[in-house]
Chain A
Amino acid sequence: MTVIGIGLIRMRNLFAVVMLSGIYSLLAAFLYVIMDAVDVAFTEAAVGAGIATVLMLATLALTGTQEKPSRHTNLLSIAIVTVTGAALVYGTLDMPEYGDPDAPIHHHVVPRYMNDSAHEVGPPNVVTSVLASYRGFDTLGEVTVIFTAAVGVIALIGRIRRRRSLNHDARLNERWADTMSSKPVLRVLTKLIIPLIMLFALYVQFHGDYGPGGGFQAGVIFASALILYGLIFGIDTARRAVPEWMTRLGLALGVLMYAGTGVAGLVMGGNFLNYSVLAHDHLHGQHWGIFTIELGVGITVAAAMVTIFFTFARLLPVDPNDEKRS
């Protein structure tokens, strides 16, 4: 990983930089698995290595792949980075050692999650319990953040170059059609794979209680199915299958489902986001609550990823000449 980090600084070919950053994310995901953070690894692989890399590539396609050499020296930056790094290393000196089971973080707050979540919340996956219930409000915030980003992307680049877009989209499709007709195997394979991916997404969605997974990962996987569809069959075709209003509605719906569950708890006599009061006994309540909010998360995340990807993809130039003209 260190090698990649250094390589990133030196490299001027942005395409390679982005690929390296994707690999970096994958490596990080691998590390997470080693360090028992399977949920996180799952997410990092899907998001950091997957979505983020795709987005960066799309951007590169729009902006050019070669970095120009910088003229000014970076002594100041080096100084800042050195000082910051040194401060951090200095700070590590009093830290508990890596993996030390006696570290304070393992003895305050967390024991209750480990010991009581099974009968307080239910799911054996403690990450899910904490994420969805104990710290459910953070997750609501998280969904809001992704909602913000998606709406922000629409607001920013949703409608630029509209004058050219008709012509543009048509040509884009032509090109895809040309490419794809020559690769029938790929097309057939894709058609087979996509339903499988979607099924897997649903599994991850509803299996989050017991194993790694949950709304967020499921949403990303679901979105990647649609993105794949778009890549193989053309953005326009995919857009016809999943029109903009649908994704936009999905974006809103997920957030509302989540917050609505919170309000329901409030109406039923608990505090905001108290699921225990949703059903006759608290375990069922927690179960239903978590189920609904995870579904909300999944919907918003899937819609957001699709929105972001398609919004970027719509801008992709058909051929190099097109790019020069812009």
Chain B
Amino acid sequence: MTSPHLPVLMVVLPLMSAPFCAVMRRGLPAWSLALVVTWTSFALALAVLTQVLDHGTIIYSIGDWAAPWGIEYRIDRIGAFMAVIVSGIGALSLAYSRRSIAHEIGVRRRPLFYTMFLLSLAGLLGISVTGDAFNLFVFLEISSLSSYVLISLASDRRALTAAYRYLIMGTIGATFYIIGVGLMYMMTGTLNLADLAARVPEVAGTRTILVALGFLTVGISLKLALFPLHTWLPNAYAFAPSVVTVFLASTATKVAIYVLLRILFTVFGKADVIHAQEIGDVLMVLALLAMFVASLVAIFQDNVKRLLAFSSLAQVGYMILGVSMATATGISAGIIHLFNHAIMKGALFMAVGCVFMRTGSVRVEAFAGLGRAMPVTMAAFVVGGLSLIGVPATVGFISKWTLIQAALETGAWPLAVLILLSSLLAIVYVWKVVEVAYFQPLPSYRGDVREAPLSMVLPMWFLAGCSIYFGIDAATTLGIARDAAAALLGNGP
């Protein structure tokens, strides 16, 4: 597949199939269509990634209007990598979704669920590949609006307030972003990211650009749930339908981090703001706070989804910590953790979804005895948990290794110590669940708990398997992350 139109098809395909799903009356045909489409998108994303790895950055002018007059797709390594992560997780969670959705969402709403899912996917993919600041906003809103709906489709009424809070915070974030873009546009006259990058250094010293940077950073930080702008996230993840949690946890915050990378390094890279304006230091402090505060809070959660949500906040901290170092190794640590965390959290939330399906609860107590009753699911949970801790032979180890290496390279050994200490907290909260699963007997009233259906177990174990495989053989993924980091710093291939 070497058609030049792959990048745009990858995004437009799910976007165009969403209306078809919307007019369907039943879940099954909608699911089938969505399944075909997401997997095709995944295949296209992989093809694009290969193309980018082989031939370098792809530039696709939409409507054949050359940038900066028209909108272009500009896909470099990191963008293609993001697209693969997003579409891959999308494809897997869609395969997983059928039984889970059949269990959690009423029959009339199922086609609408798949519509929203496809839109969310299209939005996130669009963000990953676009080269235009305003187009990015539009697709950000597509993905955000559909996520709000996806979250509120859950049966728990707290999902509604969670979605509402997410909507308010998300819209504030988007508005901040748009203020930032406006200020940038005002000073440079362009919206194209590459063009901005070329024109920013001229005006980098002005107060307007400085404020623009501030607004962009705060706005995106809201979306990526950086401490202390994270308050929307725990409940949104905890009460959303299982599949939605899987998908959003593995993709939405990741894409936001990607946008932050784009702004800080692609647009402001030549102006070197991360060093000049202490943004790096601020991000680093917030990242460290996130790592410790969120991990500590996670320890005291009784709802496993909430527990994992707080763990996600801590993991976002790791990613931002890597980014804030602004060295090649630091950024590649952030990027590789994007990928790794998507895999492991995907597996973990899928396991929790299986548990919810069989026991009707995601409280820690509900896990009692599941080590025996649902051995396959719990084994996947353990693999994911070990990965969160960072045990070798899991992807978490690779991330941690790279991050600590980055810290030591800059001579910041206290930082390395803090990273290690915070991962001890992960042992505590992961083991809290594992112990209950394996050491407490199955309550008698749950005597009929069975293993989850195959269609859910397979995607879950695919991710669990990935988190082992890429933990042993990380040369490829880390290689991409390194090249991407080098490219972001302006000295890549």
Contacts and interface: CB of A to CB of B under 8 A. Distances in A.
Interface string A258-278: 011011011000111111100
Contacts of A159: 108-109
Size class of A's contact patch? Answer: 35 or more
Given A148-B142, A155-B109, A256-B16, A133 B65 contact: yes
Interface core residue of A93, A145, A253, A263 (most chain B CB under 10 Å): A145
A1 interface: no
B112 interface: yes
Given A108-B199, A141-B126, A252 B142 contact: no
Interface string A95-114: 11000000111111110110
A134 B65 contact: yes
Given A133-B63, A138-B138, A251-B19, A113 B69 contact: yes
A126 to B, nearest CB: 12
Contact of B62 (A90, A91, A272): A272
Given A135-B70, A137-B135, A148-B146, A105 B62 contact: no
A137 B445 CA distance: 56
Given A93-B207, A106-B189, A145-B138, A155 B113 contact: yes
Contact of B8 (A93, A155, A251, A272): A272
Interface core residue of B23, B62, B179, B199 (most chain A CB under 10 Å): B62
Interface stretch (B208-216, B340-348, B458-466, B484-492): B208-216
A105 B189 contact: yes
Contact of B69 (A112, A152, A266): A112
Contact of B211 (A91, A145, A249, A252): A91
A252 B208 CA distance: 42
Interface string A200-229: 000000000000000000000000000000
B439 interface: no
Given A105-B186, A159-B108, A141 B142 contact: yes
A271 B69 CA distance: 15
Nearest to A276: B64
A152 B62 contact: no
Nearest to B205: A94
A132 B207 CA distance: 34
B145 interface: yes
Interface string A62-76: 000000000000000
B145 A145 contact: yes
A91 B210 contact: yes
Nearest to B61: A271
A248 interface: yes
Contact of A151 (B5, B61, B116, B206): B116
A142 interface: yes
Contacts of B122: 144
Size class of B's contact patch? Answer: 35 or more
A154 B187 contact: no
B134 to A, nearest CB: 6
A149 interface: yes
A18 interface: no
A255 B153 CA distance: 23
Interface string B177-199: 00100010111111100010001
Interface core residue of B9, B152, B183, B211 (most chain A CB under 10 Å): B211
A266 B138 CA distance: 22
A147 interface: yes
B184 to A, nearest CB: 10
Nearest to A156: B152
A152 B15 contact: no
A252 B20 contact: yes
B210 A148 contact: no
Contacts of B191: 109
A309 B477 CA distance: 49
Contacts of B148: 152
A94 B209 CA distance: 9
B22 interface: yes
A136 B211 contact: no
Nearest to A112: B69
A137 B62 contact: yes
A272 B211 CA distance: 36
Contacts of B395: none
B183 A91 contact: yes
Nearest to B65: A134
Interface string B138-154: 11011001101100110
B60 interface: yes
Nearest to B62: A137
B112 A151 contact: yes
A137 B22 contact: no
B71 A137 contact: yes
A140 B122 CA distance: 12
Contacts of A94: 187, 206-209
A214 B220 CA distance: 33
Contacts of B183: 91, 95
A93 B65 CA distance: 35
Contacts of B135: 135, 137-138, 141
A148 B190 contact: no
Nearest to A133: B63
B208 A274 contact: no
Contacts of A137: 62-63, 70-71, 135
Contacts of B186: 95-96, 103-105
Given A134-B63, A271-B8, 6 more contacts: A109-B195, A147-B22, A151-B116, A155-B116, A159-B109, A252-B19
28 contacts: A90-B207, A92-B208, A94-B208, A103-B189, A104-B186, A104-B189, A112-B69, A135-B71, A135-B135, A137-B71, A138-B71, A138-B138, A141-B126, A144-B142, A147-B19, A148-B146, A149-B145, A151-B22, A155-B153, A252-B19, A252-B20, A252-B22, A252-B23, A255-B16, A255-B19, A265-B63, A271-B60, A273-B63
Interface of B: 4-5, 8-9, 12, 15-16, 18-20, 22-23, 60-65, 68-71, 108-109, 112-113, 115-116, 119, 122, 126, 132, 134-135, 138-139, 141-142, 145-146, 148-149, 152-153, 179, 183, 185-191, 195, 199, 206-212, 214-215
Minimum-distance CB pairs A-B, first 10: A91-B211, A108-B189, A252-B19, A141-B138, A152-B149, A94-B206, A273-B63, A155-B112, A104-B189, A274-B64
